[in-house]
């Protein structure tokens, strides 16, 4: 009996690893709530608008030990980069997101960025669904979190 259980468990574990590998690099739509945004703001040393927003949508993907995140806004001011969210499957809790969003402009760094965050620290967000054909996000400059930022954000 124990051998059957062990084999079954091992097969389930192999399946989970296989699924995880297939999902790596696949873009998805998500939402961070205000509490998590504040931690991320501290981590990135930037302003994500938590003083007036309860949540902020993002397009992200996992790669190796990182979560790459591109924050979104519905505001269309000046030089903007458009993101068509109709290319994303949206679960019910995300259905109010507009089909056309824009990449959030980092006010402190004055640009549009893809942020590289340690995936072990980012656990709590709303998963809205997977996206396709959003490769233009990969062309954004990447802002990395440094180790000293991690210590300040979580102490």
* Rounded to 5°, angle at Cα 92 from 86 and 94: 55
Query: Across residues 88-111, what is the average pLDDT?
Result: 86
Q: Which residue has the tokens 């930037």?
A: 46
- Select the more confidently predicted residue: 143 or 50: 143
DSSP, collapsed to helix, strand or coil, labels residue 72 as strand
d(CA 40, CA 46): 9
Looking at every residue in the chain, the average pLDDT score rounds to 80
Cβ count near 57 (within 10 Å)? 24
Q: Does pTM surpass 0.85? A: no
């Amino acid at each position: 009996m124990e051998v059957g259980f062990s084999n079954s468990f091992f097969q389930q574990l192999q399946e989970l690893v296989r699924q995880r590998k297939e999902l790596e690099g696949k873009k998805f739509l998500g939402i961070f709530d205000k509490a998590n945004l504040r931690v991320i703001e501290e981590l990135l040393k930037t302003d994500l608008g938590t003083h007036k927003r309860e949540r902020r949508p993002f397009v992200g993907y996992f790669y190796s030990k990182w979560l790459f995140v591109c924050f979104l806004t519905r505001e269309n001011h000046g030089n903007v980069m458009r993101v068509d969210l109709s290319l994303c499957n949206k679960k019910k809790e995300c259905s109010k997101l507009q089909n056309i969003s824009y990449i959030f402009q980092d006010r402190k760094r004055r640009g549009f960025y893809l942020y590289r965050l340690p995936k072990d620290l980012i656990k709590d967000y709303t998963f809205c669904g997977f996206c396709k054909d959003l490769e233009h996000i990969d062309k954004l400059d990447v802002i990395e979190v440094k180790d000293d930022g991690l210590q300040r954000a979580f102490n």
